[in-house]
Chains A and B, each alone.
Chain A
């Protein structure tokens, strides 16, 4: 068993190919298809903006930008893990006919989601221009934050890709978790609006941590606290480790289950 990194280098051609075919199939080979990936978070934004600024009268500064930055960060997490979830089971005909390292689909799914994230970040930039919002230089910290998010998605992707072959209901369970996670993450509300004991529980989630960090560096021009950075790095690499162990446990026999 070679390490993941070695596999990655040996087969970066396959990786690139899978990421591109993922996008092609997703967008049906059309340029117009890419529009859908932008439209989806924007529609979400419109609905949430309407509900929470006119109906519930939340008072959050720069609410559209607050909302959009949270939505696209959560979307990255959602897209990466969902594409990875079915990345092995959808390729059953390929896997039973040609050998390739089983980790490639999970890794390429994470890259596919990253490409989508970059497109969505471009939309966020347009929003900032439109609302005449000038972020401070701390916005450059988005790069390490999203690298951290990438590691998180990769860890979950590795585990889910093999588990979904073994247990077909993981797909539905994960769908519910993602749905609940959206409401339990400070996307359309501010984290400090919650009662303290709820905050204490929710901040255990690395996704909450990442979304909060994104808010810090884009909207407030502040840096996240050292504690939260240390906690996020620790928990995310632990998740990567667990995901890799699950992957390694099941990967050799996965083709017989397909």
Chain B
């Protein structure tokens, strides 16, 4: 058994940025006659290599658009990298953006089942844990409410507690902790601590330096798709805040009308 739960080797990913996207069959037929280039390539991730050890929590920082979410999606097998490879040891559960791919027209309970089946837990196994999921998310009154009537905080709590009950080897959290209130955050931290003690890994994306400092054993600063610095959270955060402060010197505020 290897020590790493995630090994990322030389991963690169390009995206096409469309100026005027041809989304219809008609347009792509007429477009093939008119050979003007209609897209350019954007290098979102450029030769990324790192690993996450078992029982470690790993932070990723970077400004908007630096490729953090793309990286998490590659880690969770949603995107395929153009080159390079990702090896994961055990199940990876991503809690990205809003929820766990919840369907707005289905109730909380149905969605928990759907997500956990997709993440590889059978419905019978989940049935034993479903009360714990609802209780942890503090949604006892809303178990039979459709997700479309949930606030984003409620969705996030539901997503987090479902992901925890699936009990994956790696938990990916994209801007998740900030959503809950203080008490919920405390509960999350306790759960994450327990996770690490059981030899499982957590990857955290956050804009809040103090979260990373508090939670992570190691961190990575992603800048325009490449690794700017990696290692001790304090050092990484220093280069991150320096970079952000340097950007901030531009007189944005003076342009605003108030």
Contact = CB atoms under 8 A, between A and B. Distances in A.
Contact of A98 (B15, B26, B78): B78
Interface stretch (A37-45, A165-173, A213-221): A165-173
Interface string A64-105: 000000000000000000000000000101111111100000
Looking at chain A's contact residues, the main secondary structure is helix
Interface string B64-108: 000000000100111110000000000000101111111101100
A104 to B, nearest CB: 9
B145 interface: no
Interface string B9-39: 0000001000000011110100000000000
A168 B99 CA distance: 26
A95 B78 contact: yes
B143 to A, nearest CB: 14
A169 B114 contact: no
Nearest to A28: B105
B23 A168 contact: yes
B117 A97 contact: no
Contacts of B23: 166-168
Contact of B26 (A95, A169, A256): A169
A255 interface: yes
A256 B79 contact: yes
Contact of B106 (A21, A168, A170): A21
B57 interface: no
Interface residues of B, number: 32
Contacts of B117: 13-14, 17
Interface stretch (B118-126, B181-189, B246-254): B118-126
Contacts of B99: 93, 97
A98 B79 contact: no
A24 B78 contact: no
A25 interface: yes
A95 B100 CA distance: 10
A138 B94 CA distance: 53
Contact of A256 (B15, B96, B114): B15
Contacts of A169: 24-26
A98 B75 CA distance: 11
B201 interface: no
B83 to A, nearest CB: 14
A100 B118 contact: yes
A118 interface: no
A169 B28 CA distance: 11
A252 interface: yes
- Top 9 closest A-B pairs, CB basis? A94-B101, A97-B101, A169-B24, A99-B77, A167-B25, A168-B23, A13-B117, A17-B117, A98-B118
16 contacts: A13-B122, A17-B113, A21-B114, A24-B106, A25-B105, A25-B106, A96-B96, A97-B96, A97-B99, A97-B101, A98-B76, A98-B78, A98-B100, A98-B101, A166-B23, A168-B24
Interface of B: 15, 23-26, 28, 73, 76-80, 94, 96-103, 105-106, 110, 113-115, 117-119, 122-123
